[in-house]
Structure 1
Amino acid sequence: MNRCISGAVWGGIDLYISSSAVSDVLAAAKALYTGQDDIFTLFFADTDVPDIELLRRELTGAGIRFMGGIAPGLIVGTTVRDCGALIRRFSCAAGPFIVPDFITDDISRDIVQDLEMPFAEGGGTVMIYFPGPNSSTHFLRQIYGLFGNGVTYIGSVMGYEDMVLRPSVFSNEAFSNTAAVFAVLSADCMVAARHGFIPISESMISTATDHNCVREINWRNPLNEYLTVIEEDCQGVFPSKCPEEWIAYHPMLLQTDFPESVCRAVLQITPDGSLVCAGDVPENAVFRVAKYSYESLLNAAAISAKIATGDMENRSAVLFLINCICRKWITGERYFRELETVKAAVSEIPAPVKMEGIFSFGEISSMGTGMLECLNYTCVAGRFYED
């Protein structure tokens, strides 16, 4: 039976409430709370952020563990919401853990010592959130070094749609623009990630990089090399007169051993022609310039959903979408079709599957092979059972 309070409707272990008021969020969390193993994920749209410090005090005072962040939009079913709160309860094996400056800080291995982790015999999920866009390779390599390929990884780069870096990640211990938060969930999650971008160039090499800044491509000026490819493909017909927008429609596809290449968005052009990306680009990485078609994006979202739910047992589940905000930017008013396509992709599953999620500036996924990566332009789908 569904229960209602302050404009909220929920069943099972999650809910969306149209109000972000601290009192309503606290009431909802208390209603769902079952015991000390609980941890809540909380997400707010960037246009409707409550007093996070007050929320932290109230939830912590009530003995409720939580983690989450501020996103450029919430996904509830096939609709996009710019207000309210998305709340989900999980069984937590350990955490949440805070890394105060995830770009530079080292993570102590003491975190995993003497803990009865669910992945001892395989299983469990590590959920991760940090602010961005930012350099994340150092942090993600350490996380992978701690937990290996015995768990599934899923998470998001949080932030505001205007891309101004300010506090967007929170937990009982912090509300920060520099900290990462992660927790080990007892629940298993089936994760799939696809972007749908299509390569249009021959292989190229990032011959000089500095974390997320590409300073050379093929030993030449990166902007000139990039625009040459785009000009040839577009035949002089560009999305706009602004080179930044030309490149925004044409991300890098980094060559990997994953089922699909890692998509890396280019966010900014520096005065010297260097390319600032929404994630790290390794030096001497092999990549190809790419473009999208509307249908290829829809198809990628459908594939993510089908893989994530492909081997489902006959149990109710939630399909949690972490969807790059760039996908919404480039498709505009047509974006709703992507959510409808995902819904259609899981409509034939006999067990009930709910859809919810957030927009992100980077999608954190194990790509189905155990390796951990921060992606761009990607639709990540994670299937959690409700019970």
Structure 2
Amino acid sequence: MSEYHYFPDMKQHSPQQLVRGWKANWPNCGVLALVAEADLAAIADLQKICSASDVPLVGAVFPELIVDSTFTKNGTLFIRMNPMPEYLIMHGISHGKDRELELIEHVAALGDTLEEGLDATKGALMIIFDALIPNISSILNALYLKLGSRVAYSGANAGSESFKPMDCLFDDANTYRDGVLALALKEHAGGLLRHGYSSSESTYMATSTEGNCIHSVNWEAAFESYCLLAKNEYGLEINAENFYEKAVHFPFGIAKGNGQTLVRIPVGLNEAGDIYCIGEIPENSILTLLKAPAEQLMSSAKNLAQTVSFRLGGSELCFYCAGRRLHLGLEQASRELNEVHHFLGDITGALSLGEIGCTSHGSYPEFHNGAVLFVQWPEQKEGDDLS
């Protein structure tokens, strides 16, 4: 189904010949393009090239790419999809409940186009969100209520690592912000992920929240509570000046009834003492303050790679959380990719701002921070067409 090509600089090496060749050999193919934030201006050229060859194009912008198991700040990753799957792009998702409900209905209808089957052969929804949408978990929950385990799930968050609004999704004609790109992938097993963070024994309550904003914890202002918890749990002195430096290493965890812990990395703070995270925090949810020794995180990624390597053949697209890399540091994160490489070969993908997937086949899909996600596609032989 997929073939990857990386262009570090499209001004020096144009993908025009590649796209024309794909169209000649696979008339029904399309392109999924992952663009590094530094090369945002390349999107206009991508659109012209694909439109000229009548090749459908969809894509997203990520802080960085992963090519040959290495993080890279520049370039564009072309992924041939044959045939081009059914897809949709919607924007303005944060403009009200009606728009959110419209999105859920349309994505569920897209999922209904996939045939139900065994785990290895049923279809999957791959969903890429603008990272600034505040209620991604609620959207996923609503989709699962409509589709259940009839389809598999995977996805990631696109956008800028600065968390400034930007047009981070695109097709062959337009760019979009505050949007969602969803693709219906046939004969696809979805995505598997791990994070490796461990919870403390102490728990707290998110007593007032709104989407991805925490107003209070244990009935005290969120930032005041966070500073106190960090000092009591780990002996840390956190203040407004060092918050952004320290918080990525000690994120919140949401305790789930199934034994999972969802990581929520704080990325913003306002004058009222509210804390903003990537991913929503349900009101009255049980929180813990997480820690993540580097070796523990890397062990979880290696275990995931081993699990993925045992699955029936194919290639994996990797989404690696930017917050995870910030926590580990570039040297340790690069080492983690190198160790995963030993199980899976060259790693290709993007640095993401949140990850969507399951921890095991058929389990409930969740929106995570701090994770490594592998999305597997079956290899496709010359001339194959899965339509």
Instruction: Quickly name the TM-score band, shorter chain normalised.
Output: 0.7 to 0.9
Partner amino acid for 1:332?
A: G
Q: Distance in 2 between matches of 1:184 and 1:271?
A: 42
Q: Distance in 2 between matches of 1:217 and 1:115?
A: 37
Aligned residue pair count = 368
Structure 2, unaligned runs of 5 or more: 381-387
Cα 1:108–1:236, aligned 2, differ >3 Å: closer, same or farther? closer
Conserved 8 A contact 1:366-1:372: yes
Find the residue that maps to 2:39 and give its secondary structure.
coil
Alignment of 1:328 with 2:321, yes or no, is no
Partner amino acid for 1:359?
A: L
Q: Distance in 2 between matches of 1:233 and 1:306?
A: 33
Q: Aligned residue for 1:293?
A: 293
Partner amino acid for 2:326?
A: W
Q: Distance in 2 between matches of 1:155 and 1:115?
A: 14
How many angstroms does 1:31 deviate by?
Answer: 2.7
Cα 1:258–1:177, aligned 2, differ >3 Å: closer, same or farther? farther
Find the residue that maps to 1:267 and give its secondary structure.
strand
How many angstroms does 1:303 deviate by?
Answer: 2.1
Alignment of 1:128 with 2:120, yes or no, is no
Q: Aligned residue for 2:212?
A: 212
Q: Distance in 2 between matches of 1:23 and 1:333?
A: 28
Cα 1:296–1:25, aligned 2, differ >3 Å: closer, same or farther? same
Could you state the TM-score of these two structures normalised by the residue count of structure 1?
Answer: 0.85
Cα 1:130–1:225, aligned 2, differ >3 Å: closer, same or farther? same
Could you state the TM-score of these two structures normalised by the residue count of structure 2?
Answer: 0.85
Q: Distance in 2 between matches of 1:371 and 1:339?
A: 26
Cα 1:81–1:206, aligned 2, differ >3 Å: closer, same or farther? same
Pick from 104, 107, 117: which aligns with 2:103?
Answer: 107
**Matches of residues 25-174 of structure 1 in structure 2 within 5 Å?**
25-33=15-23, 34-35=25-26, 37-92=28-83, 94-103=85-94, 104=96, 105=99, 106-107=102-103, 109=105, 117-122=113-118, 123-135=122-134, 136-174=136-174
How many angstroms does 1:111 deviate by?
Answer: 6.5
Pick from 319, 340, 343: which aligns with 2:341?
Answer: 343
How many angstroms does 1:278 deviate by?
Answer: 0.8
Conserved 8 A contact 2:7-2:76: yes
Deviations 1:275-296 (A, max 9, x none): 1111111111112110111101
Q: Distance in 2 between matches of 1:193 and 1:77?
A: 20
Q: Distance in 1 between matches of 2:306 and 2:238?
A: 34
Partner amino acid for 1:168?
A: C
Cα 1:354–1:143, aligned 2, differ >3 Å: closer, same or farther? farther
Cα 1:111–1:279, aligned 2, differ >3 Å: closer, same or farther? closer
Find the residue that maps to 2:14 and give its secondary structure.
helix
Structure 1 stretches of 4+ moved >6 Å? 237-240
Find the residue that maps to 1:63 and give its secondary structure.
coil
Aligned sequence identity (%) = 18
Cα 1:153–1:21, aligned 2, differ >3 Å: closer, same or farther? farther
Partner amino acid for 2:365?
A: L
Cα 1:96–1:273, aligned 2, differ >3 Å: closer, same or farther? same
Deviations 1:9-66 (A, max 9, x none): xx97222222234972333233334445433211111112234234224313422122
Partner amino acid for 1:178?
A: D
Alignment of 1:378 with 2:371, yes or no, is yes
Cα 1:59–1:143, aligned 2, differ >3 Å: closer, same or farther? farther
Find the residue that maps to 1:284 and give its secondary structure.
coil
Deviates more, 1:290-299 or 1:253-262: 253-262
Cα 1:149–1:38, aligned 2, differ >3 Å: closer, same or farther? farther
Conserved 8 A contact 1:70-1:169: yes
Q: Distance in 2 between matches of 1:244 and 1:83?
A: 25
Q: Aligned residue for 1:5?
A: none
Find the residue that maps to 2:92 and give its secondary structure.
coil
Find the residue that maps to 2:58 and give its secondary structure.
strand
Structure 1, unaligned runs of 5 or more: 1-10, 348-352
Pick from 355, 366, 377: which aligns with 1:363?
Answer: 355
Find the residue that maps to 2:93 and give its secondary structure.
coil
How many angstroms does 1:87 deviate by?
Answer: 1.4
Conserved 8 A contact 2:212-2:277: yes
How many angstroms does 1:329 deviate by?
Answer: 1.6
Find the residue that maps to 1:288 and give its secondary structure.
strand
Deviations 1:254-311 (A, max 9, x none): 112557421111111221211111111111111211011110121121122222222x
Partner amino acid for 1:212?
A: N
Find the residue that maps to 1:224 and give its secondary structure.
helix
Cα 1:266–1:195, aligned 2, differ >3 Å: closer, same or farther? same
Deviations 1:313-366 (A, max 9, x none): 3x4x2221111111222222322111012113x16xxxxx44211001111224
Q: Distance in 1 between matches of 2:71 and 2:341?
A: 14
